[in-house]
Structure 1
């Protein structure tokens, strides 16, 4: 069992090292409850208060402590949010429901 525990720690450590920034959430931080997608790509986040943010706005809010359970990573020069690794799949951003961009536009 010790070997399995070490593997989980190593996997978690590697995932944490892949993050550029791990902001500390503030007392009023929201949770991401859904991903906003357009043509299969994440373009934003829906929060627990019902608001919807673009990917860039989500990153900025997370950096200011406004979102729980996420870190910031980058790909191709763009920052995006990733779930903090905790060995639980059901709270990963990729496991969240998707809302279409059209359904959240006012």
Structure 2
């Protein structure tokens, strides 16, 4: 059953994400969201650095951020958690930081 779930999650990820970069050995985790008027404008990483949304997408593409893929809505790109069957590590559950 677990292998079945992993295959389903992998298929779902490919269907909802444009890119799933392979994280490097020193990749950071996203630990917080920077928001302006309710919209995500940046991300706090596990080393406490804060990057703009665009810079973090670029870093993720280079393998610098683990657990996320790149998706788009219209002409806007954004980071999205790679589906793994757990809601606890979704970006939407992270705290807002300033």
- When the two structures are superposed, what TM-score results if normalisation uses the length of structure 1? 0.82
- Maintained 8 Å contact 2:6/2:84: no
CA distance in structure 2 between the partners assigned to 1:44 and 1:66 by the alignment: 15
CA distance in structure 1 between the partners assigned to 2:14 and 2:38 by the alignment: 26
What SS does structure 2 have at the residue aligned with 1:27? coil
User: Corresponding residue for 1:88?
Assistant: 86
2:46 aligned with 1:48:
yes
User: Which consecutive residues of structure 1, in runs of 5 or more, have no partner in the other structure?
Assistant: none
Q: Alpha carbon RMSD of aligned pairs, Å?
A: 1.7
Quick one: which of 48, 60, 63 aligns to 2:61?
A: 63
Q: How far did residue 78 of structure 1 move?
A: 1.5
Q: How far did residue 79 of structure 1 move?
A: 1.0
User: Corresponding residue for 2:72?
Assistant: 74
Cα deviation, 1:60-105, whole Å, max 9, x if unaligned, reads: 0000000000000011212110000000011000011111xxx3xx
Kindly name which structure, 1 or 2, has the bigger radius of gyration based on alpha carbons: 1
Q: How far did residue 17 of structure 1 move?
A: 1.2
Structure 1 residues 90 and 21 mapped into 2: Cα distance closer, same or farther (>3 Å)? same
Quick one: which of 17, 26, 32 aligns to 1:34?
A: 32
> How many equivalent pairs are there?
96
